[in-house]
Each structure stands twice: as C-alpha cells, then as structure tokens.
Copies of this chain bind each other. A is one copy, B any other.
Amino acid sequence: MERFVSMRRENRDRFHEETLDPEDWESMRELGHRMLNDMIEYMKNVRERPVWQHASNQVKSHFNRPLPIDPQPPKQIYEEFVKYVLPYPLGNIHPRFWGWALGTGTVFGAFAELLAGSMNTNTGGGGHHSAVHVEKQVIDWIKEMLKFPASASGVLTSGCSAANLIGLTVARNTKAGIDLRRKGLREMPHKMTLYASQEIHSSIQKAVEIIGLGSEALHLVPVNDDFQIDLQELKATISRDRKEGATPFCVVGAAGTINTGSIDDLNGLTEICQKESLWLHVDGAFGAWAALDPFARKKVSGIERADSLALDLHKWMYMPYEIGCVLVQNEEYHRKAFSLTPKYLAHGEGGRGITGNDLPWFSDYDFLLSRRFRALKAWMSLKLHGSRKYGRLIQQNIEQAHYLAEQVNTQPELELSAPVPLNIVCFRYVPPDMDEAALNELNKKIVVELHEQGATVISGTIIKDKYVLRAANVNHRSRREDFDILLREVISTGKKLTIAHE
C-alpha cells in the first residue's frame, strides 16, 4: 500500500509544526480578564444605555471587508468588537425590551458559555463523559418541573423550532402506519393531516413544510374569544377530514401563543386526541413554564399528558441563547424516529471505553451529531436560582403584564386589543376620529418610532385585522416603572405622529 502515502513526501520535510494556541499565554489571559470585566459592566449597566440604536454607516462598512489573510493582534480585534459590535445589539437583554419573545440571559449563564466553550465538548455521540451526565440531569429536572413521567425521553435543542421539528417528525413516523423512514410520504395511502389553532406559531408550519407534509396538511382551526383553539370546531374538522378520506394524525396545542399568550385547553385536547387516536404535540415555547407559577399553573394543566412537548429555556427560563428541549412521552417512539448508527458511530457494549452503551447517545434522539455542551448553562442556572425563584420571576412577569394592561385601561388614548392571560399585552393608540386604516398606519409607525427613540422596544402584530402594539414580557430585568415609561412613550409618540399627520 505504498501508493497510499506517496503523494506529498516532497513537502513534508520543510514542514514546521505550529498550533492555534496563543504564542503568548499571559497577554491572552490579560485580554480575557479585560473582556470579562467589560462584560460584567455591560450587563450591570444595561439600564443606562438605549435599548437599541442605529449603527452608523461607518459601522456598517466595517463589516464589508475582504477576507483577512494575515493575522491581526487579539487586542485590536477585541477593540473593534467593543467599538463596532457591542454598542449595536438587538437590545433584548435590556429591561425595557419586550419585542417578539426574546430572552434576556444572565451573568452566570454567560460564564457557563465560557466554560462550555473552553471544554468544547461534543455531546452528539459517545456515552461516557460528563456532558452527557449533565444533559441527562437537566432533562430529568425539566421533566420534574413539568410533571412529565421519568420514563419520557428528551433532548436539548437549539430552541423550539428544532424541538417542534423533532416532535412532529416523531408524531409523523409513529402514526404513519407504514415504515415512513424507509418508504417516505409518497407511499402513504392517505393524506396525513394535522390540526392547530389559527394562533399557532409559524415554526409549526415551517416544520410541516420541511418534513414533507405540505402546509395544506395543517388545518388551522378558529379560536374562541380567549384565543384558544375551539374544541367543537376541531372535532368537526377532524370528522369532516376523515369522511373525505384523509388520515388525521396529530393535534398541535399551544401553551402560550405568540400573539396573545393564550393557552389552549390542554386537557380538552388530550381527551380529543385519545378518543381520535391522534398524537398531541404541545408547542410550549415560553408558556409551558407557567407550570412554575402557583397561580398560573392550572392554565397548563394537562401539559404533562402530551405525547410530545417542545419548549425553550432561553425565553422564560432566562438562559442565554440557544437552549430548548423536546420531551417525548414514549422513549421508544422518539428513538425509533432518529436513531441511525452507521459503522463509524457504533455504540460500544457494556461500560468500557468512551462509547459504552449504558448512557444515552443524544444523537439517537436528535437530528444533530455535532452538539455543543448547552446543558451546562441550564445545570448551573437551575442550581444558582432554584426552581422556586424561576416560579417567582415568571409570576412577576405575569403580574407586570397585568399591571401594564390596567394602565392601558386607564388611558383614554389607549385600547386593550386582546385578553391578557399570561405575559403578553396587545394594545393600540386610538386618538379620536380616526378610521381603521389610519389607525393601522399610525400604530405601525409608533413601533418604528419607539425603536428609533431607543427608550423602549416592542413589536407589532395583527389581532382581528387590526394592527396592534405588542409587549411580550419574558424579561427578568423589567420593573413596573419600565412599563410606565413604555406607555408614556407610546402616548407621546402617538401624539407627535398624529400632529405630524394632520
């Protein structure tokens, strides 16, 4: 087999071995300490900065450079970061950011990212190493918090989009009735259909499209006045589809819709699914964590009976991006949908060597093989705060949302646009004598102007054909006074824009 190695002998001897480790460890260490100090200050003083601000054209053009060919001193790179990156964040760690549903993160969580990045462990395969123990522990704790049985399987994901994709893939494969992994959807004798409310998150549609069902397979059912899926309509739709020859296989419940934070009647959905032999997947991105608040807990009653549950830990558990989780009631279904063991990934037998098979290989439950040590920040954070404090913070966010809603109700220029069952408040600015089209335009402009002013950030959405302002509160840094500022800003911005408009 001499030919195997003949290729490049001529080059070899002139070869000087090098590494990407620092040449000067001490100055790298110093730089690290400087970064750490700066980051502490950055997080500590976030309240003193604008929530968001425009990057100048100079900043923008800094990121339009040719590929760096030669090395640059680390200190200089860090200074560029401080000048061009750090001052122009999206703003979601700020106490007055309530746009979309974005997490705030914590100091200890950021530290955990340094530790995980230093260990640089891959948790995709290989049973025997500490990161696998930590991930298993974190999943056990999540099951405990959400009252899932200990026998359920789970895997940490980048977030809820990935968790929904996994949950729906398990549902599809389990309910197909044919060997779908081998045969594919074209071999299905009937069209597989699934159901969710019109308020369901877009990641469900995206997952349905990716896994090949097509968005037409996703039947969106109307909601009641509380923005929950209408159970009678759901039953009627399923029954109609069956008559038309489709194969209903899954209902997706929402625990915390993105528009209003409403939670479907999960016990009602469980009963329907059991009766109809359907899989119940729950998208619990943030809302699942209402389970930790003794007052809100009853709203997610039944969540522990879902066949699969997707949720985030970087939203309402306040951990840094990315961390989500999917739990599957039946471990075997989960594993059967994702386990694939080629020769080069053979799991060892018994407890010897790295590949011993007495611990889970998370790649058997995930579509990823390269998986960072995201469990560490969850393990450290849950220990630091304890589940009770998380419960109190979630309760606090809900209380603050109700406070905001009450304040909206006291202002004649403002109008509440939807119920506030959880932590999301939809409202709008309604000056007298303005038609609906103009109100929509005005409120759209208010969102953008608020961004530009930088004191508060909210986003907008459409509720019953009306464009509304929307504050989603998963922010552990917000105080009541921050919501007062929000309303003050909305009203003054609304006034200013109305005058400009007249």
CB-defined contacts of A452 to chain B, threshold 8 Å: 352-353
Contact of A216 with B by CB under 8 A: yes
Interface residues of A in 364-419 (CB under 8 A from B): 367-373, 376-377, 380, 382-389, 392-393, 395-396, 398-399, 402-403, 405-406, 409, 415-416, 418-419
Contacts of A72 in B (CB 8 A): 383-384, 386
Evaluate contact between B181 and A88: CB separation under 8 angstroms.
no
The chain B residue sitting closest to A403, CB to CB, is B12
Give 1 or 0 for each of A438-476: 1 = CB within 8 Å of chain B CB.
000000000111011000010111100000001000001
Tell me the residues in window 314-373 of chain A with beta carbons closer than 8 Å to chain B beta carbons. 314, 318, 320-322, 324, 338, 340-346, 348, 352-355, 367-373
6 closest Cβ contacts across the A-B interface?
A212-B212, A184-B214, A113-B117, A159-B370, A105-B120, A353-B448
Chain B hits for A80, CB < 8 A: 383
- Contacts A77-B384, A180-B214 given; does A28 touch B476 at CB 8 Å: no
| Complex Cα gap A201–B340 (Å) | 11
19 contacts between A and B (CB under 8 A): A17-B480, A19-B476, A29-B36, A55-B130, A63-B130, A67-B141, A71-B389, A85-B130, A87-B130, A88-B130, A92-B120, A100-B125, A104-B120, A158-B158, A206-B338, A207-B367, A344-B459, A344-B461, A352-B452
B-chain residues with CB within 8 Å of residue A121 when the two chains form the complex: 89-90, 92, 321
In the complex, which range does the number of interface residues on chain A fall in? Answer: 35 or more
Q: Within A1-39, which residues are at the interface with B (CB < 8 Å)? A: 1-5, 7-9, 11-12, 15, 17-22, 25, 28-29, 31-33, 35-37, 39
A501 part of interface (Cβ distance < 8 Å): no
User: B405 touching A115 by the CB < 8 A rule?
Assistant: no
Q: Is A197 an interface residue (CB 8 A)?
A: no
Cβ contact within 8 Å between B403 and A165: no
Q: Please, how many angstroms separate the alpha-carbon atoms of A136 and B61 in the complex? A: 12
- Choose from B89, B202, B342, B387 the contact partner of A119 (Cβ within 8 Å): B89
Chain B residue numbers with a CB within 8 Å of A28 are 40, 107-108
Residue numbers in B under 8 Å from A320 (CB-CB): 117, 120, 372
Q: Of residues 208 to 256 in A, which have CB atoms within 8 Å of B's CB atoms?
A: 209-217
- Is A25 touching B44 in the complex (CB atoms < 8 A)? yes
- Residues of chain B with a CB closer than 8 A to A111's CB: 31-32, 35, 114, 117
Q: Decide: A158 and B370 in contact? CB cutoff 8 A.
A: yes
Q: How far is the CA of A314 from the CA of B92 in the complex (A)?
A: 27
Tell me if A152 is interfacial: C-beta within 8 Å of chain B.
no
The minimal Cβ–Cβ distance linking A350 to chain B, given in whole angstroms, is 9
CB-defined contacts of A342 to chain B, threshold 8 Å: 201-202, 258
How far is it, in angstroms, between the C-alpha of A402 and the C-alpha of B29 when the chains are bound?
35
Quick check: B12 and A69 within 8 Å, CB to CB?
no
Contact A399 B448 (CB under 8 A): no
Residue from the list B2, B35, B205, B324 in contact with A115, Cβ < 8 A: B35
Known contacts: A211-B211, A370-B322. The answer to whether A60 contacts B133 by CB under 8 A is yes
CB closest chain-B residue, reference A372: B321
Q: CB-defined interface of A414-442 with B at 8 Å, one 1/0 digit per residue?
A: 01101111000000000000000000000
